[in-house]
A = this chain, B = another copy of it.
Amino acid sequence: MHIEVCEHAFSPWERLATFESEHGPRQGSFGATATFVGTMRDFNEGDDVVSLTLEHYPGMTERQLERIVSGVDDRDGLLEVLVLHRVGQVVPGDPIVLVAVWSAHRAAAFAACRQIMEALKSSAPFWKKEELKDGQRWVAQNTPG
Protein backbone atom coordinates (compact mmCIF):
# COMPACT_ATOMS: atom_id res chain seq x y z
CA MET A 1 0.00 0.00 0.00
CA HIS A 2 1.33 3.45 -0.92
CA ILE A 3 -0.43 6.57 0.34
CA GLU A 4 0.68 10.10 -0.39
CA VAL A 5 -0.59 13.60 0.26
CA CYS A 6 0.69 15.78 -2.61
CA GLU A 7 1.49 19.44 -2.04
CA HIS A 8 2.02 20.03 -5.76
CA ALA A 9 0.22 19.16 -9.00
CA PHE A 10 0.70 15.57 -10.11
CA SER A 11 0.12 13.76 -13.40
CA PRO A 12 -1.88 10.59 -12.63
CA TRP A 13 -0.85 8.64 -15.73
CA GLU A 14 2.84 9.38 -15.25
CA ARG A 15 2.60 8.47 -11.59
CA LEU A 16 0.85 5.20 -12.47
CA ALA A 17 3.50 4.29 -15.03
CA THR A 18 6.31 5.00 -12.57
CA PHE A 19 4.65 3.35 -9.60
CA GLU A 20 3.72 0.23 -11.54
CA SER A 21 7.22 -0.26 -12.90
CA GLU A 22 8.94 0.46 -9.57
CA HIS A 23 6.51 -0.83 -6.94
CA GLY A 24 3.80 -2.70 -8.84
CA PRO A 25 3.05 -6.37 -8.24
CA ARG A 26 5.20 -8.90 -10.10
CA GLN A 27 4.47 -8.98 -13.86
CA GLY A 28 2.12 -11.87 -14.59
CA SER A 29 0.65 -11.92 -11.08
CA PHE A 30 -2.02 -9.31 -11.71
CA GLY A 31 -4.76 -9.44 -14.31
CA ALA A 32 -6.75 -6.37 -13.35
CA THR A 33 -6.00 -2.74 -12.54
CA ALA A 34 -8.87 -0.40 -11.70
CA THR A 35 -8.15 3.28 -11.29
CA PHE A 36 -10.09 6.41 -10.49
CA VAL A 37 -8.93 9.98 -10.99
CA GLY A 38 -10.87 12.87 -9.51
CA THR A 39 -10.17 16.14 -11.31
CA MET A 40 -11.14 19.70 -10.49
CA ARG A 41 -14.11 20.93 -12.49
CA ASP A 42 -14.69 24.57 -13.33
CA PHE A 43 -18.30 24.36 -12.17
CA ASN A 44 -20.12 23.22 -9.05
CA GLU A 45 -23.74 23.58 -8.02
CA GLY A 46 -24.44 25.85 -10.95
CA ASP A 47 -21.58 28.27 -10.34
CA ASP A 48 -18.26 28.85 -12.11
CA VAL A 49 -15.36 27.93 -9.87
CA VAL A 50 -12.04 29.71 -10.40
CA SER A 51 -9.89 27.69 -8.01
CA LEU A 52 -10.06 25.45 -4.99
CA THR A 53 -8.04 25.31 -1.79
CA LEU A 54 -7.77 21.87 -0.23
CA GLU A 55 -7.09 21.80 3.49
CA HIS A 56 -6.40 18.59 5.40
CA TYR A 57 -5.49 17.26 8.84
CA PRO A 58 -1.87 16.14 8.51
CA GLY A 59 -1.29 12.86 10.25
CA MET A 60 -4.96 11.95 10.59
CA THR A 61 -5.29 12.04 6.80
CA GLU A 62 -2.65 9.35 6.29
CA ARG A 63 -4.02 7.25 9.18
CA GLN A 64 -7.55 7.38 7.80
CA LEU A 65 -6.43 6.53 4.27
CA GLU A 66 -4.45 3.54 5.59
CA ARG A 67 -7.45 2.44 7.60
CA ILE A 68 -9.71 2.77 4.55
CA VAL A 69 -7.41 0.66 2.38
CA SER A 70 -6.91 -1.93 5.13
CA GLY A 71 -10.67 -2.14 5.60
CA VAL A 72 -11.49 -3.09 2.00
CA ASP A 73 -13.93 -6.01 2.08
CA ASP A 74 -11.94 -8.26 -0.21
CA ARG A 75 -8.50 -7.26 1.09
CA ASP A 76 -7.17 -10.74 0.24
CA GLY A 77 -7.97 -10.19 -3.42
CA LEU A 78 -5.75 -7.10 -3.66
CA LEU A 79 -2.10 -7.15 -4.66
CA GLU A 80 -1.33 -3.44 -4.41
CA VAL A 81 -3.07 -0.12 -3.79
CA LEU A 82 -1.92 3.41 -4.60
CA VAL A 83 -3.69 6.49 -3.22
CA LEU A 84 -2.58 10.05 -4.00
CA HIS A 85 -4.48 13.11 -2.82
CA ARG A 86 -3.71 16.70 -3.57
CA VAL A 87 -3.76 19.54 -1.01
CA GLY A 88 -3.20 23.27 -1.44
CA GLN A 89 -4.42 25.45 -4.28
CA VAL A 90 -5.88 23.63 -7.26
CA VAL A 91 -7.15 24.98 -10.58
CA PRO A 92 -9.66 23.47 -13.03
CA GLY A 93 -8.19 20.45 -14.79
CA ASP A 94 -5.82 19.63 -11.92
CA PRO A 95 -6.08 16.08 -10.61
CA ILE A 96 -7.23 15.96 -6.97
CA VAL A 97 -7.25 12.26 -6.17
CA LEU A 98 -5.92 9.05 -7.69
CA VAL A 99 -6.91 5.60 -6.46
CA ALA A 100 -5.42 2.56 -8.20
CA VAL A 101 -5.90 -1.08 -7.29
CA TRP A 102 -4.05 -4.11 -8.68
CA SER A 103 -5.62 -7.54 -8.35
CA ALA A 104 -5.55 -10.99 -9.94
CA HIS A 105 -9.17 -10.67 -11.07
CA ARG A 106 -11.36 -7.79 -12.14
CA ALA A 107 -14.24 -8.08 -9.67
CA ALA A 108 -11.97 -7.41 -6.67
CA ALA A 109 -10.20 -4.54 -8.45
CA PHE A 110 -13.42 -2.74 -9.46
CA ALA A 111 -15.04 -3.23 -6.06
CA ALA A 112 -12.01 -2.11 -4.05
CA CYS A 113 -11.39 0.99 -6.18
CA ARG A 114 -15.00 2.06 -5.74
CA GLN A 115 -15.06 1.24 -2.04
CA ILE A 116 -11.86 3.18 -1.36
CA MET A 117 -13.15 6.24 -3.23
CA GLU A 118 -16.48 6.25 -1.38
CA ALA A 119 -14.78 5.82 2.00
CA LEU A 120 -12.24 8.52 1.16
CA LYS A 121 -15.03 10.94 0.23
CA SER A 122 -16.95 10.26 3.44
CA SER A 123 -14.17 9.98 6.01
CA ALA A 124 -10.73 11.22 4.92
CA PRO A 125 -10.18 14.64 6.57
CA PHE A 126 -9.93 16.93 3.54
CA TRP A 127 -11.95 20.10 3.01
CA LYS A 128 -12.51 22.13 -0.13
CA LYS A 129 -12.91 25.88 -0.26
CA GLU A 130 -14.07 27.19 -3.61
CA GLU A 131 -13.07 30.53 -5.04
CA LEU A 132 -15.89 31.89 -7.19
CA LYS A 133 -15.82 35.03 -9.31
CA ASP A 134 -17.47 36.97 -6.52
CA GLY A 135 -16.23 35.36 -3.34
CA GLN A 136 -15.32 32.18 -1.55
CA ARG A 137 -17.30 29.33 -0.02
CA TRP A 138 -16.60 26.09 1.75
CA VAL A 139 -18.05 23.01 0.07
CA ALA A 140 -20.64 21.89 2.62
CA GLN A 141 -20.83 18.17 1.97
CA ASN A 142 -19.84 15.58 -0.60
CA THR A 143 -22.60 13.98 -2.63
CA PRO A 144 -22.96 10.22 -2.20
CA GLY A 145 -21.46 8.14 -5.01
Contact = CB atoms under 8 A, between A and B. Distances in A.
A36 B33 contact: yes
A92 B27 contact: yes
Contacts of A40: 28, 31
Main DSSP-derived SS at the A contact region: mixed
Interface residues of A, number: 37
Interface in A1-53: 11-14, 16-17, 20, 27-43
Given A13-B14, A35-B36, 14 more contacts: A11-B17, A13-B20, A27-B42, A28-B40, A31-B38, A31-B41, A33-B39, A34-B34, A34-B36, A34-B113, A35-B37, A110-B113, A110-B114, A110-B117
